[in-house]
Amino acid sequence: MGDIQIVVAEDATLIRRLIVNMLSREPGFDVIGEAENGREAVEVAEESGADVVVMDLDMPVMNGLAAARRITAMQPETSIVLLTAHQNLASVAAMAGASECLLKSCNPSDLVAAVRRAHANRASERFDAAQRMLSDVSLGDMALRFGLTDLEAAVLERAADTNLTYKAIAAQVVGSGGRPLTEAAVKHTVERVMNKLGVEPRTRAALVRHVLSEIRGHPTVADGL
């Protein structure tokens, strides 16, 4: 994994340069751009494809809140860490889609940790989204290849989630005629699915292993992860 690429946006030149110098000395950090107002921050973030933007909340032309919203809307893969001098504004991060908002009175180590958290959380979100996409594609492909009915495919998707009991699956899946499934119906459906997929031994654990094997071996999405 490469260095975390960072853009620093702060209208006060001295403060901006101090932040840039401090972050540049941190192992694994690469400050690739600077901005002195919100609009410039949006432009630099877009041009650079930064991983994290460290941005002052109170800036000219476009404030940090508006800039953060613009950046996260255009570049959901970019994380934002906001900085503010006002205690009562430290809770605004979620409003702008930012990872967090720190007081400017924080220690340098707090900012470093916030940047690392922001990057790690966004990377985790991207991985989870890719895994969900991979799972959806693979389960859909399995349903087609093995001739599963819509009901069987729906039950299989939930049976592969080991956090769900058969009773919980029955509460989530609707049978023919819009009638809810019974727990016994779910069990029979799972047995039919294992029959069609050729899962042996006929246990839920074996079914889950089979599904995971199919997902990991799917060539279309996995190659792009």
The confidence band for 70, taking pLDDT boundaries of 50, 70 and 90, is confident
Max mean pLDDT range (4-18, 73-87, 107-121, 154-168): 4-18
Residue pLDDT, tens place only, 102-113: 888 899 999 999
Cis peptide bond upstream of 201, omega within 30: yes
- Residues 41 and 8: their CA atoms lie apart, in Å, by 8
- Residues 67 and 52: their CA atoms lie apart, in Å, by 13
The confidence band for 43, taking pLDDT boundaries of 50, 70 and 90, is very high
Structural domain of residue 74, as residue ranges?
Answer: 4-125
Phi, psi of 110 (to 5 degrees): -65, -40
For the entire predicted model, the pTM comes to: 0.55
Residue 135 covered by a domain: no
Q: Going along 10-144, which residue ranges are E strands?
A: 29-35, 52-56, 79-84, 100-103
163 and 115, same structural domain? Answer: no
What number is the average pLDDT over the span 170-185? 79
From first CA to last CA, the distance across the chain in angstroms is 13
174 and 117, same structural domain? Answer: no
Angle 89-92-96 (CA atoms, 0-180°, nearest 5)?
Answer: 140
What number is the average pLDDT over the span 32-37? 95
194 and 165, same structural domain? Answer: yes
168 and 71, same structural domain? Answer: no
89 and 8, same structural domain? Answer: yes
Angle 72-104-32 (CA atoms, 0-180°, nearest 5)?
Answer: 50
CATH number of the domain residue 55 falls in: 3.40.50.2300
Can you give the pLDDT at residue 2?
Answer: 65
Domain boundary among 95, 125, 155: 125
Residue with tokens 């690739």: 32
CATH number of the domain residue 198 falls in: 1.10.10
The confidence band for 37, taking pLDDT boundaries of 50, 70 and 90, is very high
Can you give the pLDDT at residue 201?
Answer: 86
For residue 3, pLDDT over 90 is answered with no
Residue 141 covered by a domain: no
